[in-house]
Chain A
Amino acid sequence: MTVIDDISDVPTPDAKLAPLLEVRDLHVEFHTRDGVAKAVNGVNYSVNAGETLAVLGESGSGKSVSAQAVMGILDMPPARIPKGEILFQGRDMLKMSGEERRKIRGRKIAMIFQDALSSLNPVLSVGYQLGEMYRVHQGLSRKDAKAKAIELMDRVRIPAARERVGDYPHQFSGGMRQRIMIAMALALEPDLIIADEPTTALDVTVQAQVMELLAELQAEYNMGLILITHDLGVVADVADKIAVMYAGRIVEDAPVHDIYSKPAHPYTKGLLQSIPRLDQKGQELYAIKGLPPNLTRIPSGCAFNPRCPMAQDICRTDVPQLHPVGTARGSACHFWKETLGE
């Protein structure tokens, strides 16, 4: 018996040892009338159980599209995944049948959307929508599902859950609606939660409540969390590691402490300098010149080169690979050493 046990502990492609989720060389493109928009161009990242990965980027950087590809909720067509692997617990989800993926979606990987009001069905009570998770996935009766829904609402600390279970989404405030979204994502105790700008639509005091709740529940269930956001402040508060995206690529990938103290990519550096700080009255803000690129016409070489203060000829011709910077860190810049060194 002991021998067999030993064998199973050997790091064979064991689901337990591989990262919870690993995205490898993911490409997503959209076929539009204006041509092919390359939204995601070779993205790699991984998340372990209990870990928080923040995917940071501006609108159009491909952060949401890559998450939707992981979730399997892209509209295809117009979207297409020409290349890439999405390994969840060691298995490539892109090779699974629709039926298999449906078993994972909601049960193993759940998503929290930005706009709770438009993500919830306005003509069904929140109790019904929460209970749906149990009725569909676990075949519970209406009564049992409702009891479970109340339990969930309690867990995300919605006051008077028993009285409010029959209320409709419009009867809740923005923060409460986002709690319902979180409750729905948690319902089946998934291993991974993808939160796409979960607090962007909320006021700061409510944002703090919601982020605190999310962090608590994550620790409780030891879930992996992918937090998609454009807010450098929120990232600093909760993330373990960060992937910064620009024009469909990860330009910098690092543990959270490194990136803020010493960015290794000019884009990250520019972003950090361009945000005003609450605790400092700054001088003139540093502004990254120009605009994010059109995804149907991404500049050749490094996509950031037209806006980059350090761009040289090589940046216009060669696409920089993700160079390793120290341990567990990478920067897709030809001049990462110079960027770090300054």
Chain B
Amino acid sequence: MSEPTLSKDPESSAATAAEAGAPVVEAAEAAAAQLADREPILQVRNLVKHFPLTQGIVVKRQIGAVKAVDGVSFDLYAGETLGIVGESGCGKSTVAKLLMSLEQATAGEVFYKGQDITKLSGRALKAVRRNIQMVFQDPYTSLNPRMTVGDIIGEPFDIHPEVAPKGDRRKRVEELLDVVGLNPEYINRYPHQFSGGQRQRIGIARGLALNPEIIICDEPVSALDVSVQAQVINLMEKLQDEFNLSYIFIAHDLSIVRHISDRVGVMYLGKIAEIGSDAEIYEHPTHPYTQALLSAVPVPDPEAREHRERIILSGDVPSPANPPSGCRFRTRCWKAEARCAEEEPLLAIPTRFAEVDTPAKHESACHFAEEKDVVGAA
């Protein structure tokens, strides 16, 4: 695909960064493109979202809060995929909504090219949203059944008419259909005429319509059949290379996340427990929760049955309305000691690994971080 409108203009992004006073931009200009790449496109700092729990009908009193996201920080770089994994209720989808400004953050900042988007509203927010798009989990409910595919994919142009002039839109929609591997002649069909995998392609085409830089994918393949998942994953990887997209890929399937991600963050009860490159997380996990999570994933290899060590956690995830003191994982952790209840471990490179050059040297929020290979990667 070679339509110029879909390709990214690297100069404009550099210009916006410079306006915002990003310090390295001048140096980066001279340095290799690789260095420029390492300037984060999205910086999330201490993001917090508490949903209030209220009591009373006439006079509402707040009696507590569901701490869905409680201090999450990470960076996203241009052209990379950051995977976010965790069990249901850990806050990963709330993070996605906060990044899209679909929810108002309770505290914290999200810097997109140096601009805090949690403080934006109106026209400024609209402009930013053009560059951050989302692909949803359920292709059955996220497409309006009464709109044709052409209208669904073209709707972003109604909101951002500057992207595609009116006469040009039909052609653009047909191009997009072609890009995601659907027949452009399907433009007048309705969503129910497509299978799940095809619908997800329509969702992706809609996400691509405005030439975004970042696409947030919330469980994009978990509703699809196994043989169709691979088609969609391959498409997403192809599009990433073609349009230099950055993905935030949220999923509970650890195998898929490993496949597509460059870096991975593991979330537990509204916090990031461990974050690092895919090899660091999967082959050298240091947080007990990551280790338990990885060891619980069934590997499609019966030979591995015997020699794989399984860590079976007891109990369920505690309620985010009343998380445990100190380390949130301590109630299910086999390493927990008194210190874990009193002192909250911070997400940082563990001091014992700080001096040495090892793959275990990545951020992990555990007092007793220790490397352990649970996947059995050879």
Contacts and interface: CB of A to CB of B under 8 A. Distances in A.
A233 B300 contact: yes
A279 B307 CA distance: 14
A292 B227 contact: yes
B128 interface: no
A248 B310 CA distance: 35
B226 A232 contact: yes
B298 A236 contact: yes
Interface in A177-216: 203-209, 211-212
A205 B87 contact: yes
Contacts of A274: 226-227, 229-230
Given A203-B87, A277-B299, A236 B312 contact: no
Contact of B234 (A234, A236, A271, A287): A287
B182 interface: no
A209 B278 contact: no
B104 interface: no
Interface in B256-315: 256, 258-260, 278-279, 282, 292-305, 310, 312-314
A275 interface: yes
B366 to A, nearest CB: 17
A263 to B, nearest CB: 11
A166 interface: no
B226 A276 contact: no
B197 A277 contact: no
A203 B88 contact: yes
A276 B88 CA distance: 21
Contacts of B144: none
B254 interface: yes
Contacts of B316: 173, 175-176, 206
Interface string B50-81: 00000000000000000000000000000000
B301 A204 contact: no
Nearest to B88: A203
B279 A278 contact: no
A230 B88 contact: no
A167 B254 CA distance: 34
Contact of B377 (A237, A257, A261, A279): A279
A163 interface: no
A245 to B, nearest CB: 13
Contacts of B256: 276
B296 A208 contact: yes
Nearest to A276: B259
The size class of the interface chain B forms with chain A is: 35 or more
B214 interface: no
Interface string A205-247: 1111101100000000000000000111111110100000000
Interface in A33-64: 58-59
Contacts, number: 139
Contact of B254 (A278, A287, A289): A278
Contact of A285 (B234, B279, B317): B234
B145 interface: no
Given A204-B296, A208-B312, A276-B255, A58 B227 contact: yes
B299 A278 contact: yes
B317 to A, nearest CB: 8
B298 A205 contact: no
A281 interface: yes
Nearest to B313: A205
Contacts of A260: 300-303
User: Most B CB atoms within 10 A — which of A175, A205, A271, A285?
Assistant: A205
A340 B186 CA distance: 39
A204 B254 contact: yes
B226 A205 contact: no
User: Most B CB atoms within 10 A — which of A58, A276, A281, A286?
Assistant: A276
Contacts of B296: 204-205, 207-208
A161 interface: no
Interface in A257-287: 257, 260-261, 270-272, 274-282, 284-287
B187 interface: no
A278 B285 CA distance: 13
Contact of A236 (B228, B292, B304, B377): B304
Nearest to B305: A237
B302 A58 contact: no
Nearest to A207: B296
Contact of B233 (A235, A272, A278, A285): A285
A205 B195 contact: no
A258 to B, nearest CB: 9
A171 to B, nearest CB: 12
B237 interface: yes
B97 interface: no
Contacts of B375: 278-279
A311 interface: no
A243 B232 CA distance: 26
A231 B298 contact: yes
Given A58-B225, A208-B310, A287-B234, A278 B294 contact: yes
Contact of B298 (A203, A234, A280, A286): A234
User: Most B CB atoms within 10 A — which of A175, A207, A275, A284?
Assistant: A275
30 contacts: A58-B226, A173-B316, A204-B87, A205-B87, A207-B296, A208-B295, A208-B310, A208-B313, A209-B312, A211-B298, A230-B225, A232-B226, A233-B255, A233-B299, A236-B300, A236-B302, A236-B305, A237-B305, A239-B302, A260-B300, A274-B229, A278-B294, A278-B375, A280-B377, A281-B259, A281-B278, A287-B231, A288-B227, A291-B197, A292-B227
Task: In the A-B complex, list the 8 residue pairs whose CB atoms are closest, starting with the nearest.
Answer: A233-B298, A276-B259, A274-B230, A203-B87, A208-B296, A287-B230, A232-B300, A285-B230
